[in-house]
Amino acid sequence: MNQNFQALFQETTDNNTSNDQSFLLGGALLLFNIFVMLFVGLYWMNPVMHEFISGRPLL
């Protein structure tokens, strides 16, 4: 049992690239989500940005 656990632990510590890639993908997704929220908030609340994107004034 102890040997199986050590072998499993050795496999997980050797494969850190997938863990690093998961953190990188999660961080990129988080930044993209924040960007979209800021963009939508500015689009709805800022009349100048709304008119620049849609071509008509904000009501």
For the chain, where are the alpha helices, taking DSSP H only? 2-14, 16-45, 47-54
Token code pair at residue 21: 């890639």
pLDDT of residue 14: 58
pTM for this structure? 0.62
pLDDT of residue 35: 98
- Residues of the chain whose pLDDT is less than 70? 11-16
Cβ(57)–Cβ(47) below 8 Å: yes
pLDDT of residue 6: 79
Please report, for the chain, the start and end positions of each structural domain, with discontinuous segments joined by +.
Answer: 30-59
| pLDDT tens per residue across span 15-28 | 667 888 999 999 99
Q: Is the dihedral of CA 22, 26, 32, 36 positive or negative?
A: positive
pLDDT of residue 43: 94
